[in-house]
Amino acid sequence: MRNFQYRFDPVMRLKDYNIQRVEEEIAAIEQNIQRLLREIEEGRQAVHNLRRRLMEEVDDQNLIQAESELDLFTQFTNREESRRYDEIAQHKNDKSLKQEELIQLYQEKKVLERLKERRRQEWETEMRKEEGAIMDEIGTQKFIRRKEFGGVLLYLIVPLALIAGIAAIGYYTGVIDQSMLRKIPLFNPSPRSATAVIQSATDVPQEEFITLEQLIGDPDTPMPVLLQNFAEQLEQTRKKQEQLEEWERRLEDKQAILDQQQSLLADLTKQASDYLQAYLDIKQQLEQSQKSELSQYEEDIATTLSSAKGKEIAQIMINLYNPPDQMLEERRLNLEGQTLQNEEIQLRQQEQSLLQQQQTGAVDEIALQDIQEKIRLNRERLEKNQDDLAAVQEKIRDSQLLLLKILHRFQSRGRKELFVALGKSNPDAAAQIIADFATTTTLELNKAAPTPTPLPSLGQIEDGTAPPGAE
């Protein structure tokens, strides 16, 4: 009997994996929400501690500067709190979507389980039918063997019956004497005692004896007819035997096909399981790699910011946020673009004037074509200028995101010290960086390349000659 095989078992395993993945994502989202709530509480506590320290430790002569730092830090904390609340709302929305996806996966898994139970019931019904067919075949084979055994007995009994008939005819006609019959052991049994007779009468027969009438039918049937009937029964039995052998051969062929398909299905299932396991292993390796690997470039800059002094911190942060070379290139491209736009306006006015003269028939066609050619070339230069400007602005934004990503590596207290040092040197740049830090989303922040190539040196960053966003 073949084992039960459900062809959607790989699909069910895939559903289980997706359910586990979604549950892990929901748990990760919940952890992020709790982390953001803790950071909000820590920010509020930091403001409270700073205010208390100013009241207790700061001298009167430094009170104004301390109050300014407190206001700046409070504004930054409020922006951070607002940004975190926006992230919490986004996380809650993502969590709701993941929960709906999880419910859908559970429903699909329940449908597959019900279908599996239904297929199992059908398989059990089919197995019972096959068992019944096997039992019927066994009964048929037993009947055929019994018929064959009856045919052998018929070959033995017919001659004996002929001999007995001839002896009976001879006995009744007087040809055979009774004394002659007594000389034959079959007709002259030895006397038995009364006890033996009683015992033989009370014994239960151990076998079922077949009579002559049961074997050949009517005893008066002529021998040719009897032999003809016997030959017909033998032919029918032979045909049934051939039919049963043919059925058995077909069953064996079908069983071989089923075994081959089951083997193929088992191989495909194992292959799918191997692919799934390999995918899980790769995913685990990537997660471990993301947790363990840090960008060396970001680490160097973060270390430099941690150990640098106030003016050095301000210079490094300003050069990262507004790289001088890229800013000069952006201003140059903006001026060039403005000049090209002014030239296009003048060329358009000249073209319009020539077109108005064309209506009167007093226009120079060569001059008109020359103006149109200049407009086309000016348009191409303007488009190239816009493309170059967009590329430069993208590099500047990458450099800004790189600085914001480095700032995220610091704790709240460390960031506060960096912002205070920057605010003393350049308040406008500090306000711009703090506002950008508070409004930049995590999705936009992750677009920054963590490890630019080639890596500029720290000296180049301090001098403002490195292109931080270049690859």
* Closest residue by Cα to residue 320 from 423, 456, 471: 456
User: Can you read off the two tokens belonging to residue 47?
Assistant: 């403001």
Question: CA 352 to CA 364: how far, in whole Å?
Answer: 13
Rounded (to 5) percent helix, strand, coil in the chain:
85, 0, 15
pLDDT digits (tens, 9 = 90+) for 151-202: 555 556 666 677 766 666 666 665 555 555 555 555 454 544 444 444 444 4
CATH for the stretch 1-142: 1.10.287.1700
Burial of 17 from C-beta contacts in 10 A (0-12 / 13-18 / 19+) = middle
- Which residues are within 8 A (CB) of 84 and not within 5 positions of it... i.e. 6 or more apart? 36, 39, 40
Residue 162 · residue 222 · CB < 8 Å:
no
CA-based R_g, the chain, Å: 52
Question: CA 405 to CA 417: how far, in whole Å?
Answer: 17
Q: What is the pLDDT along the chain (471 residues), one digit of tens a residue?
A: 567 777 888 888 888 888 999 999 999 999 999 988 988 888 888 888 877 877 777 666 666 777 777 788 888 888 888 888 999 999 999 999 999 999 998 998 898 889 889 988 988 888 888 888 888 888 787 777 666 555 555 556 666 677 766 666 666 665 555 555 555 555 454 544 444 444 444 444 444 444 555 555 565 666 677 677 767 777 888 888 888 888 888 888 888 888 888 888 888 888 887 888 888 888 777 766 655 554 666 677 777 777 777 677 778 888 888 888 888 888 898 998 889 888 888 888 888 887 777 777 666 778 878 888 888 898 898 899 999 989 988 888 888 888 888 887 777 777 777 778 778 777 888 888 888 888 877 777 765 444 444 444 445 544 555 444 443
pLDDT digits (tens, 9 = 90+) for 332-387: 989 988 898 888 888 888 888 877 777 776 667 788 788 888 888 988 988 999 99
Among all chains, which residue has been given the structure tokens 């600085």? 403
User: Can you read off the two tokens belonging to residue 136?
Assistant: 């019927």
User: Nearest-5° angle of CA 124, CA 128, CA 130?
Assistant: 115
153-190 in b/e form (b: 16+ CB < 10 A) is ebeebbeeeeeeeebeeeeeeeeeeeeeeeeeeeeeee
Position 218 scores a pLDDT of 61
Question: CA 123 to CA 100: how far, in whole Å?
Answer: 35
Position 353 scores a pLDDT of 81
Among all chains, which residue has been given the structure tokens 């992750």? 446
Output the CA torsion sign for 77, 79, 82, 83. negative
Question: CA 207 to CA 149: how far, in whole Å?
Answer: 15
109-115 long-range contacts (CB < 8 A, ≥24 apart) are 109/12, 109/15, 109/16, 109/19, 112/8, 112/11, 112/12, 112/15, 113/12, 115/8
- DSSP secondary structure, 397-410, as one string: HHHHHHHHHHHTTS
CA 123 from chain centre, in angstroms, equals 28
Residue 440 · residue 401 · CB < 8 Å:
yes
